[in-house]
Amino acid sequence: MANFGNDTRFAGSIPDIYDSHLVPLIFEPYAADLAKRVAALHPSRVLETAAGTGVVTRAMAHALPTHVDLVATDLNQPMLDRAAAIGTARPVTWQQADAARLPFDDASFDVVVCQFGTMFFPDKTRAFSEARRVLRRGGWLLFNVWDRIEESEFANTVTAALTDLFPADPPLFMVRTPHGYFDRQMISRDIADAGFSAASRIETIAARSRAVSARVPAIAYCQGTPLRNEIDARSGASLEDATSAAVAAIARRFGTGPVDGKIQAHVVIVQR
């Protein structure tokens, strides 16, 4: 994948803006949902992959009993640094790790959970296979992925605005990666190819994304994700120009005051 390096580069100011803007905008309701599902399984040891700045980690730390061992990993150390700096309600083991090459023993976890990280894995079947390897028999893999970008209204509006701003070479990070792995049949096939014999269960959940103004989602997407790397790499308009174009597009569609847009994701559950 030619853009994989930039698509997975969360560095500089991205982790801070991601956590301050994007987490409350789109991640928190799905984090609460995943944490509730994990707690219902009564695990003794949980591994989180692609933990980012720790929104699901914090939700699980609150939802799980204190005796449950919680290990949170991410490929990007700056994201883990931000997560660790925020902290959790109880001790968590933070560890840098590649989801496709997990540094853990076979059959060492009851649950592997991943929130909106699977889309970034270059070899998804391998990552699922690694999750299966570290799961105990009867353990569970739970993850969520965004549905097609048309079902997430702010992301779609920002992408359209940047396509108008850079018509010769539009930055398509949001379409390509965060919203690029939504096909339910493909997901089920990749899980089966990874060695899971049980059928995966996929639920589609819609939620609302709200902010006090159009500028909040514009900054969240343009400056708090690797979309920023694509904008910075282009000539003809600056990052602030791109952010302003996104603000204007969101305001035209959703109003100049508080904004409210649809988001939608798939939650995938499969047993080892």
Q: What is the pLDDT of residues 165-174, one digit of tens each?
A: 999 999 999 9
Cα 213 to Cα 259: distance, rounded to the nearest angstrom: 6
Count of C-beta atoms within a 10 Å radius of residue 16? 15
Q: Is the Cα torsion angle 176, 178, 179, 181 positive or negative in sign?
A: positive
> Is it true that domain 4-271 has CATH number 3.40.50.150?
yes
206-235: pLDDT as tens digits: 999 999 999 999 999 999 999 999 999 999
6-48: pLDDT as tens digits: 767 776 888 899 999 999 999 999 999 999 999 999 999 999 9
| Domain residue ranges in the chain | 4-271
Single pTM value for the model: 0.94
Contact between residue 1 and residue 177 where contact means Cβ atoms under 8 Å apart: no
Alpha helices in the chain (DSSP H): 4-7, 14-17, 28-40, 55-63, 77-86, 124-134, 153-165, 173-176, 184-193, 215-223, 227-232, 239-254
60-110: pLDDT as tens digits: 999 999 999 999 999 999 999 999 999 998 999 999 999 999 999 999 999
Q: Mean pLDDT across the stretch 134-160?
A: 98
First to last CA, the chain: 30
Cα 16 to Cα 37: distance, rounded to the nearest angstrom: 28
Alpha-carbon torsion angle 186, 48, 18, 83, nearest 10: -170
